[in-house]
Amino acid sequence: MKFTKKLSHLLSLAAALALAAHAQDAKVKFTLPHDAQIGGAVLTAGEYTVTLSQDGITRAMITPVDRDGQAMFALPMSTDSSANCKATSLSMQRKGVDWNVRSICFADAQIALYFAAPGVKTSLASAAPALAITGSR
């Protein structure tokens, strides 16, 4: 009976480790052609590495590739863990002269993160131009 109990605990531990390994961080690199707002922060144009972390809270850690500047965590408004990402991509939306990051899709992990639009001002509705950027691993 003790052997069965120990074997059961061992199998549970192995399953937990397998699930943790499955939720390992995905990492991609993007070049932002414009300064862009994500959450309450603004990223200046340039190259960034985005690391997906899913250890309890899904978040994206964004760091400049040249390590010159600040790293930041971005919490998505929603997450699609069964996203059908054909390619790793980042989509941006333009509002007037400002750009904001709307989503990041990790093709290898098939996960998409969607970020809230910055504060909405009262105005007439209009179609905003969008931009999609393909990333690399």
- In this predicted model, what pLDDT tens digit does every residue of 63-116 receive, in sequence order? 999 877 788 999 999 988 888 888 899 999 998 899 999 999 998 888 999 999
The structural domains of the chain, with segments of one domain joined by +, span 24-134
pTM of whole model > 0.85? no
Bridge partners of 85?
A: none
Q: Give exposure, 42-66, as e/b (b: 16+ Cβ within 10 Å).
A: ebeeeebbbbbebeeebbbebebee
Q: What is the pLDDT of residue 65?
A: 93
Determine phi and psi for 48, rounding to 5 degrees: -135, 150
Which of 1-15, 84-98, 112-126 is predicted least confidently? 1-15
Tokens representing residue 74 in the block: 């971005």
Q: Which residue has the higher pLDDT, 18 or 56?
A: 56
pLDDT at 133: 62
Choice among 14-23, 46-55, 126-135 with the minimum mean pLDDT? 14-23
More confident residue, 124 or 101: 101
pLDDT category at 130 given cuts 50, 70, 90 is: low
The length of the chain is 137
